[in-house]
Each structure stands twice: as C-alpha cells, then as structure tokens.
Chain A
Amino acid sequence: MPSVDNMTTTSYAAPSLAASTGGRLLRRLGIDTQYVLLGFPLGLITVVLFMTGFFLGLGLTVIWIGLPVLVATLFLARGFAAVERARIRPVLGRGMPHPFYKRRPDAGPLRRVLLPLTDGQSWLDLLHGMFRFIPSTIAFALVVTWWAGALGGLTMPLWDWSIPRGPADQDLPELLGMGDGTATRLIFYFAAGMFFAGTLYPVVRAAALLEAYFARGLLSGVNELREQVAEANAAREAAQAQKAAAVSAEATALRRLERDIHDGPQQRLVRLAMDLGRAEQQFATDPEAARATVAEALHQTRETLDELRALSRGIAPPILVDRGLQAALTALAGRCTIPVDLDAPPMERLDPAVESAAYFVVAEALTNVAKHSHANEVQVAVRRNATGLLITVADDGVGGAGLAKGHGLAGLDDRVRAAGGVLHVDSPVGGGTRLTAALPI
C-alpha cells in the first residue's frame, strides 16, 4: 500500500563497472574462504560436544540427571547456531533473523527448564551442530586444495629450484609421458596453477554455499516458513480490511442515497400526488383554483427533476463517466460556493474505480470546505506519477478537521482505503486544512 511520504521521484547513478567488479570478486573470495576455513574447526568442535552431550543425556535419562544434560546440550546448540547465523550473513548476502524459540514465562521453574526439550528449533540447532562437520569438511578440503593448487602452481617457477630431485625421482609430467625437462615441468605446473586459479572463485563459492545452505536449511528453514505464512496472513488481512472498507463505504453511500431520495424527490412526489388529486376534485367545482393547483404541481415536478439530477451526480456523475476526471473536477470547482483554484493537468483515462474514488474525494472535501471551514479559497491539485494519483485539497479556513468525528471525513477515509489508497489529514486548529489522498493505479 503506498504511503504519502514515499511519493517522490528517486534517481540513481550507474556504477562504474570494471574496477569494482574485480574488487567485488576478490572480496567475495575472501569472505567465502574465511567462512569455510573457520567452519572446519567449528564443525569438529560441535560434533564432539553435541554427540557426547546428546548420547550422554539420552543414556542418563533413566536416572533423572539425563534431562538437565540434554537441556544443557540444547542450550549449547542454540548458542552455536546463533554464531552460525551471524557468520552466514556475508556469505548469503542476507542475515538470518533470530528464530522463534518457545518461551513460557508464566510456567513454573521446573517446566521452564525443561521447555527446550519440546522446542523444535532447538533440536534442529542440535542436529545442525552434530552433522555440520560433513559439509564443513568437504568444503574445507576443496578450498584448501584449490588455494594450494593456485598459489603453489603460479609461484612454482620461483621456488622449483629449491626442491631436491634425485635421479630416481619422477615428477608428474614425466609420469604422464611428457618427458624430463625442467621447462616442461615448469610450464606444466604453471599451467596447473593457472587452472586452479581460474576455477578458484567458482569452487570456493560452491563450497561456501554448500556449507551455508546446509546451515540455512536447518537453522532457519522453519523460521522462513513461518515468516512466509505470517506474510501471507498479513496480506490476506490487508485484503480483508480493504474489502471491509469497501463494503462499509458502499453501505454508507447507499444509506445516504436512500435518505436523500426519501427526504427529497420522494416527498415532492407525494405532495405532487396530493396536489393533482386536489386539482382533480377542483375541476368540477372551481376551475380557476384547479388551474392554480396544476401550476403549483408543475413547479413541484421541476424541483423534483432537479433533485433527481443532483442525486444521479452523487451516484455516478455522467460527466465523469463520459469525459473523465479533469472535466468532472472542473465542473465540481465551478459549482463550489468557495472559489477553487484547480490544478489538474489533462491525463489519460484511468480505471473507473480510481477515477470515481478521486472524484468523490474532491467532491466530499469541497462539500466539507463549503460547510465547515469558512475559508476564502480552496486549492485542489491532482498529480499523476508512476505508481498512482496524488490528490491534494487545501483550504485556508478554521482547521480542526479530523478523521474521527462526524461522517464526512471518516466516509472519505473508507472510500480511499477501499480503492487501496491512503488518506492523510493535516488540520491544525485555526490553521487551515490540507487533505492528501494517494491512490494506487
């Protein structure tokens, strides 16, 4: 849902490519390498700690002391998991939020102590700790090998002279059938170094990702699922709120319409019927009086037509439907009893619901201004940008308007929300009123 505050244009500059790409690659390589290198000892520590703790606790459960051992292990697992979640941030580019662990602050001390045993995420943390040595070790082996290959191969010509070679020793190129020459050897190992260096970045990245995804799956998989569900729920609630606002706006509008019809045209028509009935009686006895009555009835008919016309404008103004927002707003401005300064550039036709919402925002705002504000002038502005329509109605009257009191502005708020937009009221007492509505397109 758009917010009024964000309705500004933004600009950005294209980054310079070549230098920063190289720098970025190097930084990523460094991050991944340190992640994997640290992960190896961590994996060994945690597997020892947790396997011991878990099986010890399990075995000792028969005598009660196993339970606190298990709980302690779980707490340890949580701690290491927190460390891992923090470590992962630079590798994956996004942090993992602290997950939801079960808490029951109102339970007794014994129950609170044993609570982690029932908390799924704690057990997942333990599982991760127990088995992370597998991906950690694989990744470590890959990374160390590739770095060694790259660094060693590329620098080989510098230190090859220092390696003792006896007559019976055979180097790899010789074994491969390439002959015994120094040059061959140097070129071979240098080429190997080039190969390792060339594939260093993808291999290290893959190794780091292997370890990181393993961690992420266990440590925050459940959490992410929960977050997705929460997001879906929130989206559904927002949609329901919008629908409720729409229903409420419609119901209010219909009630008002019924009241307007009842108090206006309907009464006039009853009076009309009465007058014509009287005229009918009078034709026989007093034709002159009958003529006068019929003239009155004609007058009533005209007034009724005017009222019906106004009502029809209140439902679906023909000018809005036929000629669009700008024309309809001009007509509104012309009818307002307070001078209106209208700033609405011509724009293409929009979705009828949006045009209708925009029109009624201005119409009701102008009615409120005319009725309550005692203003000298009103400024109405309509602006279109990429995401929506921004409508502003500002007057220099007495201010003090609010969304809560009366029907006017609350009904307006409903209408705007029903169209998926946001209404903002700025009305200090004595300082004029400014209504801003942002409608999405």
Chain B
Amino acid sequence: MRVVIADDAVLLREGLIRLVEESGHTVVAAVGDGPSLVDAVTTHRPDVSIVDVRMPPTHTDEGLRAAVRARALVPGSPILVLSQYVEVSYADDLLADRLGAVGYLLKDRVSQVAEFLDALRRVAGGGTVLDPEVVGQLLVRRRRDDPLRGLTPREREVLALMAEGLSNTAIARKIVVTDGAVEKHVRNIFTKLGLHQDEEQHRRVLAVLAYLQG
C-alpha cells in the first residue's frame, strides 16, 4: 500500500514511517501540517493516509479539517485519523460525507501494532473503523428511556463491535462465537432498535452511530 503520513511531532512521524515500512508498505509522503497533507493527498492519491488531528498553528484540530478538505478534493480517499483523546465531534465530522473509508483511533492504539495495521488495511479497503473508547463514550451518554436496556449483554457487545466497524466475521473471531451466532445477534439488535438492516459495512456503522447519538 502507498501511505501518506501527517504528524507534526517528528518523533512520532518517524515512528509511524518505520512501523508502516516494516510491514511492507511504502510511505510516499510524510508531512507536518494541514496544507501539506492536502497537497500530498491530491498529488499522490495514496491508498490510505494516517493523519494526526493536532497540527500547527493552533494545535487544536487543523489535522482533522485538512483531512476533511482532502476528502472533499479526492472523494473517498481513505483516511485514518489519530487523536490524543476522544472527541466525539471529530468522529461526526469524519463520517459526515457518508462515503466510508474513514477511521478514528486514539494515538495509544498505535502501540498495538497488529491491530493498528489491521485497522489501516480495513480503512484502505473502504471500511469504517472507530476506536473502542469512542464507542464506549457513545454508549454511555444515554437518555432515561433507554431502549439499549432491552439488549442482552452479548447484544450490547456485538453492537459496540459493530460501531467500531468490525465485520461479522471479525466480531465472531473477537468474541469467539460462530458467524451464525453473530448474524443472529445483529438481526435481533436491529429489530430491537428499529433500525434498517444494511449490508454495506460502513453504512451499518453510520446507522448504529446515528442511532447512538440521536
């Protein structure tokens, strides 16, 4: 895969470069601010970009905004965004164009190399990936009349994993059940929550998220 890396901290940028290249991919550009990211994406059309949310000059969310701009110029260009802490609005902004191929992970997740690379591959393949902590926060802020209470603990687990962007197979592997069991859970969930079942993975994520946030 051809990868673009955008992070203003030199230490982390180099770490990511090494990590990606040691896994057999190629880093076509490594940049340190928003405008350079947009240029790199439009010039190189990478298979996936890894972008830090915090960039100069204000070090708040320039990276995120640059990612959104890049997606506007190159629709559907896969982007994996890394953030120091959970900010649910970032997830909203990323998913807003509803094209999939988007990921939002916490920076700490990078140390779990295998999972990070897997997430990278999934985003490059058009899937949607959300950090479990983001999902955890979404599951927490609920209203009093909470239909999620009608779900069994197992179903809640499956719901969370769906929101993270895992496919049925991946969910099955993670919680160690059969594919069939997962599919049954998914159907129950969608019925109980009154959601329209969607085959496409990233649209499923959107639906669940929309539900959790609404």
Which A residues contact B (CB, under 8 angstroms)? 262-263, 267-268, 270-271, 273-278, 280-282, 289
Contacts and interface: CB of A to CB of B under 8 A. Distances in A.
Given A267-B11, A277-B112, A281-B22, 5 more contacts: A273-B110, A274-B16, A276-B111, A277-B113, A278-B113
Contacts of B18: 278
B22 A282 contact: yes
Interface of B: 9, 11-12, 14-16, 18-19, 22, 84, 107-108, 110-114, 116
A372 B87 CA distance: 39
Contacts of A276: 111
B28 to A, nearest CB: 20
Contact of A281 (B9, B15, B84, B114): B114
Given A267-B9, A281-B113, A281-B114, A274 B22 contact: no
Nearest to B14: A271
A275 B114 contact: no
Most chain A beta-carbon contacts within 10 A, residue among B15, B16, B84, B108? B15
A275 B11 CA distance: 11
A281 B24 CA distance: 13
A274 B15 CA distance: 7
21 contacts: A262-B84, A263-B9, A267-B11, A270-B11, A270-B15, A270-B107, A270-B108, A270-B111, A271-B12, A271-B14, A273-B111, A274-B15, A275-B15, A277-B19, A277-B112, A277-B116, A278-B18, A278-B19, A278-B22, A280-B113, A281-B113
Nearest to B117: A281
Nearest to B22: A278
Contacts of B11: 267-268, 270-271
B7 to A, nearest CB: 10
Most chain B beta-carbon contacts within 10 A, residue among A271, A274, A275, A289? A274
B6 to A, nearest CB: 16
Contacts of A262: 84
A277 B111 contact: yes
B21 to A, nearest CB: 11
B14 to A, nearest CB: 8
B15 A271 contact: yes
A274 B9 contact: no
A401 B84 CA distance: 37
Nearest to B113: A277
A231 to B, nearest CB: 47
Nearest to B114: A281
Contacts of A278: 18-19, 22, 113
Contacts of A282: 22
> When A and B form their complex, which 5 residue pairs have the shortest distance between CB atoms, in order from nearest?
A273-B111, A277-B113, A274-B15, A277-B111, A271-B11
B110 A274 contact: yes
A289 B108 CA distance: 23
Contacts of B113: 274, 277-278, 280-281
A274 B12 contact: yes
B40 to A, nearest CB: 21
Contact of A267 (B12, B19, B108, B114): B12
Contacts of A267: 9, 11-12
Nearest to B110: A274
Contacts of B111: 270, 273-274, 276-277
Nearest to B54: A262
A268 B110 CA distance: 13
A280 B110 CA distance: 13
Given A271-B15, A282-B22, A277 B110 contact: yes
A273 B22 CA distance: 16
A277 B18 CA distance: 12
Contacts of B19: 274, 277-278
B16 to A, nearest CB: 7
A278 B9 CA distance: 19
A277 B110 CA distance: 8
Contacts of B22: 278, 281-282, 289
A109 B114 CA distance: 90
A285 to B, nearest CB: 9
A373 to B, nearest CB: 27
B150 to A, nearest CB: 39
B81 to A, nearest CB: 16
B12 A270 contact: yes
A262 B84 CA distance: 10
A86 to B, nearest CB: 66
B73 to A, nearest CB: 30
Contact of B108 (A268, A273, A275): A273
B89 to A, nearest CB: 21
A277 B15 CA distance: 11
Nearest to A276: B111
A271 B15 CA distance: 6
